Chain A
Amino acid sequence: MKLQLFPVLITAALLAVTGCSPAPTTTTAAGPVSEDTGGSAKGDFGPPVGEPINAILTAPPLVPPATGRTQPAKVIVNLEVREVEKEISEGVKYTFWTFGGTVPGSFIRVRQGDTVEFHLNNHPDSKMPHNIDLHAVTGPGGGAASSFTAPGHSSQFTFKALNAGLYVYHCATAPVGMHVANGMYGLILVEPPQGMPKVDREYYVMQGDFYTVGRYREKGVQPFDMQKAIDENATYVLFNGSEGALLGDNALKAKVGETVRLYVGNGGPNLVSSFHVIGEIFDKVYTEGGSRYQENVQTTLVPAGGSVIVEFHAEVPGTGVIVDHSIFRAFNKGALGMIKYEGPDNLAVYSGKEVDSVYLGDKAASAAPVAAAAAATASGTLTLEQQIKAGEALYAGTCSTCHQGNGIGIPNVFPPLAKSDYLNADHNRAISVVLNGLTGPVTVNGANYNSVMPPMSQLNDDEVANIVTYTLNSWGNKGGRVTTADVAKVRASTPRPKGAAH
C-alpha cells in the first residue's frame, strides 16, 4: 500500500504547485460560497439561561410572535390532544383527532438551542391513546416513544432544538396513517439564532388529505375510510382542515406594500403538494423549511411530512388564491384558500382588464354591414334594413354562441330569443340586459332559467341598438326598432356592474 500511495502524493503535490488542483478549494470559485450553519453539531448553545418560558401556542392561521431571544432558554410546551367532531365541508361532519383542538395543530415557536420541556396531555374525553413525533427532535422516534399517552393522562419529555428550520410534528400511534389522516399534525418553527428576518405578516397554512366513506361533499357524519387511504384516493385535500378555512371571512389578509410570510406544512398522510398562490410569485422560498432560500419561484413542492417557508411582497390589491396546483385537488377536492390584499391600485404593475374586444375567428361575418350602418347613422340616413343587417353580423359574433344562430337558445341553460315573450315585452329591458348582463332566475316562454349572462361591455350604443333591432325582427318576434338614443338613455339610467365600466 505504501508503495502505491507514494506516487499519488507526488502527483497531488505537483498539481498543487501548478495551480491546477482539482481538489476542493475554498472560496475562490465564481459566485458566493456560503458557510454551512453547522447543523446539530453547532446547535447547542449551552444550558438554558433565565427562568423557564411558557411557549405561546397559536391556532391556525396565526403564528406566535418571534421569540426575540438571544440566549438559549428553557421553553415549556403544553399541548392538549382532543378528539373533536367538526365540519370538514359545509354540512359534512368528521371526527378529527387534534393537537390543540384544531387541524392543523397549534403552532409552536422556539429558538435554536432552546431546551423544550414538552407536555402532551390527552383529554379525558379521548377514546384513543396518542403520542407525538416532532421532526425538530434529534432522538429516537422524535419523542414518540416517550409520549405515548392514554386518555386522561399526560406525558413529559425534554429535547434540545439543535437544528433551525420549520418542522412538522405528528402523531405516531398505530395505525400511524389513520392518526395522521384524522388531522394529527402541525408545525414547530425553530428560529435560527439571529431570528427570522422581520416581515409585516406571518401566517400558518397546512395541507392535508382526508379519506371519507362518502363522496366529496356527501352530507352527514362521514367516517374515515381505511381502504381509500391505502389506495391514496383522497376524498378531500384541504388547507387548515376544512373547506372554507381560508375562504370568505376567513381569508388571510394583507395590505399592498407589505411583505407576507407563509409557514406552510403538509401533514399528508399521502399526497405531495404543488404549493402555489395564483397571482403571486414567491420572492423567497426556504425550500423544504430549511435555512437557504431560492428566489422567484412560482410553485414549490411540499412533501408529506415536510414544510416550506414562502415570502412575497403584495404589490396590487385583489385576491391571491392559494392552491395545490395539482389542480383537480383545488377545484374538486377543496384545496383552495385566499389571501386578500387591500390598498390602492397600481396600474403600472397590473392594469386590470384593458380591452375585451370581439374576436370572431371563423365566425366573422362580413364587417361591411356594420360599417355601412355606422356611416348611415353618422349621416342620419340609417334604415331599418341597414340596422337589421348590421345587427345580424354583430349577433353572429357576440350572441350566437349561447343563444344560437337561430335564436332558440339551449333548453334549461340559455333562454330563447326566438318568439320570446320576455324580449318582446320590454325593449328597454332587452337593451339593459345586453348592456349590463343578467344574473339570476328569469321565466321565458313559461320555462325557468337561472344562469349568468355577462355585460356586453365591448358594444357601443349603435351596436346594441342594431343587435336588439335585429332580434326583434327575426325568428317570429313582433318587430320594432331600437335607436342609438334609446340605448344611450338606458345606459345613462342603469348602473354598470363593476368591471364593465368601459
Chain B
Amino acid sequence: MRPIILGLIVLNAAGLAGGVSANDNYVRIPGGEFKSALKYEDTQGKVAVAPFELMRTPVTNAQFLDFVTKNPPWQRRKVVPVFAEARYLSHWSSPLQLGTNAKPQQPVVNVSWFAASAYCEAHGARLPTWSEWEYSAAADGTRRDARNDPAWREQILGWYAKPSNAPLSPVGQSPANVYGVKDLHGLVWEWTEDYASMLVSADNRTQGEQDRLKFCGAGAIAMDDRENYAVLMRVAMLSAMEAANITSNLGFRCAKSLP
C-alpha cells in the first residue's frame, strides 16, 4: 500500500513536465513464471511476471541532469526535504552541473526513491517491481535463469566484497544478458517500485516470531537460503532504506508495462 500512496503524492507535488521516452533504451522482457528468492507465504515464492519493458542500462548522470533541468522541483536546492535527504545529488558540482566527480555516462546515484520514481514518471514509465527486477536479473548471457550456476552467484558476491570507494564505471560496460539488459549486477544497487513492501526484519534472527503485520501480506522473508543469499542481500540493502534516503551506490532504471 505504502508505495502507491507515496506515488500519488509525487505526482501531485512535483508538477512534472512531460518527457518523451527514448524507446531504444528499452528492451522487451517476455513474461513468465519463476521462483523468487523471496518466500511469499501465499505462493511459496512462485511469481507470474507479465511481459514488460526494461531499460537496457541504469539511468546516467547525463540523463538525470536533463530531467532536473526540465523539472526544477527536483533540483538539488529546490527539492522538498521529505522527498530527498540533504545529500541528494551531492556528488554533482552544482544543481545543474555534473563537475569532475560525476561523469555523464556513469550511473546516477545519490538519488532518493521519490526522485527516481519522478524521473520514470516523467518518461512515461515507472520503476520496475522487485519481481520484474529479480526475474530479469536471474539471467546470464545465454540463459533466462542462471541462478543455479555457481559462477552467476560468484559474480554477484565478488561485487559485494568490494567497498564502494572507487569511481563507478560508465553504464553498459558489462556483457548483456540474454534479454539484452546490462549492469543488473556489479555496478550499483537499484531502487524498485515496491521495495518498501518487502521488508526484511532488521534483526532476522527472530524468524519464529516475526511480526507478520510488518510484511504487508508478502510474508516473512527468510534469509537462511544459501542458494539465494546473494540475491537476498540486495533485498536487505533495500530494506535498510527510507524512500528519501540516498547512498553513493544506489541508482535505478525504469520499466514500462505493455498495453
Contact = CB atoms under 8 A, between A and B. Distances in A.
Given A125-B163, A149-B240, A151-B164, A144 B202 contact: yes
B205 A176 contact: yes
Contact of B233 (A126, A151, A172, A175): A175
B245 interface: yes
A236 to B, nearest CB: 16
B203 A131 contact: yes
Nearest to B87: A152
Given A153-B245, A175-B223, A141 B205 contact: yes
Nearest to A173: B236
B203 A223 contact: no
A85 interface: yes
Contacts of A152: 87, 246-248
A195 interface: no
Interface string A176-187: 101000000000
Contacts of B158: 223
B237 to A, nearest CB: 6
Contacts of B197: none
B229 A129 contact: no
B245 A150 contact: yes
A174 B163 contact: no
Contact count band on B: 20 to 34
Given A151-B249, A152-B87, A127 B163 contact: yes
B98 interface: no
Contacts of A288: none
Contacts of B165: 125
A444 interface: no
B248 A151 contact: yes
Contacts of B239: 129, 148
A151 B240 CA distance: 9
Contact of B203 (A82, A149, A172, A224): A172
A62 interface: no
A153 B239 CA distance: 13
B245 A148 contact: no
A432 B246 CA distance: 73
Contacts of B204: 172-174, 176
Contacts of B160: 127-128
Interface in A134-186: 140-141, 144-153, 172-176, 178
Nearest to A151: B247
B247 to A, nearest CB: 4
A141 B154 CA distance: 31
A127 B245 CA distance: 15
B27 interface: no
Nearest to A83: B163
Contact of B248 (A84, A124, A140, A146): A124
21 contacts: A83-B163, A125-B164, A126-B163, A131-B202, A140-B203, A141-B205, A144-B202, A144-B203, A148-B202, A150-B240, A150-B241, A151-B248, A151-B249, A152-B87, A172-B204, A172-B205, A174-B223, A175-B232, A223-B154, A226-B157, A226-B229
